[in-house]
Amino acid sequence: MSPRIDALQYANWSEKIFRQMRAGGVDAVHVTITYHENFRETVLNVERWNRWFERLPDLIFQGFTADDIDLARRTGRTAIFFGSQNPSCIEDDIGLVEVLHRLGLRFMQLTYNNQSLLASGCYEAEDTGLTRMGREVVAEMNRVGLVIDMSHSGERSTLDAIAHSARPIAITHANPASWHPALRNKSDRVLRALAESGGMLGFSVYPHHLRAGSDCSLDDFCTMVARTADLMGVERIGIGTDLCQDQPDSVVDWMRAGRWTKARDYGEGSAANPGFPPMPVWFRDNRDFGQIEEGLRAVGLSPENVTAVMGGNWARFFRESFGAVERARQEAAQ
């Protein structure tokens, strides 16, 4: 049996949510641990996670390698893999890439909506593509086994990252723009380039990424997944819900505005709809992964393809992506 994996969540973590992961049979989750936090602040977030792992070792533990997905399944727990949605955590210091990888960071977005030191975000008017530092950091992330995530990046930057990266990259949480033309969703050109390079797309259930928003039907969502399988190949897609369960709206303000503006930025929302949107009725929390699975079957995906999309593909990608290049070389030399 194939594992069930979610490639993006940023919840207001609680024992309740971890128990819901177990109830939903979720074996591994890529969790966001930091947005605009600098290195030291990110380490404080790691410390908070360490307290969760210490308090609830029968529910969750930190994942470092793809083997931890198997360990989670064998021991009835959920492996938590760390990620960052912005490169603030490496500050201006490429050496922090390896340090954060050692602390367990397995995904890092090169940008979050805005221009960063590395690349451009999807909300900038001008997209620089990869910067000088961006190219260096991509190579360093390749070396240590830290996945480049372009979910919130601009089109040119994303194509640049795909082309420049020596290892496949990920868009952990977004949908095709051809289905719902949000700035955060991705063009067919990006999705094809991602698939051809061996990368992965995780389908988001965050209402701003859905056609009809919170009212999007499960059938419409799953039909979109099936069509994207036709476009990219079924082995290149998985789930990345972007579940932000139980977060107060102050958190979406932090995600959007960080410390880069004194004004309020509405991101994908608006002055009339500034907070977290309500989730669709068919995916309220981790207990609802079975509904997505049923929905995929209902639109005609084969059982093999359903298990691949629900986690098998991410498991393969984790296995190919999290190891350091030189470690593999050393072990081969023995």
Q: Which residues bind its own copies (CB under 8 A)?
A: 39-40, 43-44, 46-47, 50-51, 54, 57, 61, 71, 74-75, 93, 95-96, 98-99, 102-104, 326, 329-330, 333-334
Q: What are the percentages of helix, strand and coil residues in the chain, rounded to 5? A: 45, 15, 40
- Closest distance to its own copies from the beta carbon of 165 (Å): 19
Minimum CB distance to its own copies smaller for 5 or for 103: 103
User: What are the phi and psi torsion angles at 255 (to 5°)?
Assistant: -55, -45
- Closest distance to its own copies from the beta carbon of 2 (Å): 21
Apex 147 CA angle, 146 and 148, nearest 5: 120
CA 163 to CA 182: how far, in whole Å? 24
SS3 225: helix
Minimum CB distance to its own copies smaller for 60 or for 279: 60
H/E run at residue 30: strand 28-34
- Closest distance to its own copies from the beta carbon of 170 (Å): 24
Apex 163 CA angle, 82 and 255, nearest 5: 35
Q: Rg for the chain (alpha carbons), in Å?
A: 18
- Closest distance to its own copies from the beta carbon of 69 (Å): 15
- Closest distance to its own copies from the beta carbon of 47 (Å): 3
Both tokens assigned to 285: 């929390």
Both tokens assigned to 139: 């190579």
CA 114 to CA 258: how far, in whole Å? 11
Minimum CB distance to its own copies smaller for 102 or for 319: 102
CA dihedral 101, 93, 156, 227 (to 10 degrees): 10
What sign has the CA pseudo-torsion 4, 10, 316, 326? negative
Minimum CB distance to its own copies smaller for 145 or for 240: 145
- Length of the chain, in residues: 334
CA 299 to CA 220: how far, in whole Å? 9
Minimum CB distance to its own copies smaller for 24 or for 104: 104
Give start and end residues of each alpha helix (H) in 208-302.
218-232, 249-257, 289-298
Minimum CB distance to its own copies smaller for 75 or for 214: 75
DSSP 76: T
- Closest distance to its own copies from the beta carbon of 130 (Å): 22
- Closest distance to its own copies from the beta carbon of 167 (Å): 17
| Long-range pairs, 326-332, Cβ under 8 A, ≥24 | 326/143
Minimum CB distance to its own copies smaller for 73 or for 256: 73
Minimum CB distance to its own copies smaller for 38 or for 291: 38
- Closest distance to its own copies from the beta carbon of 12 (Å): 20
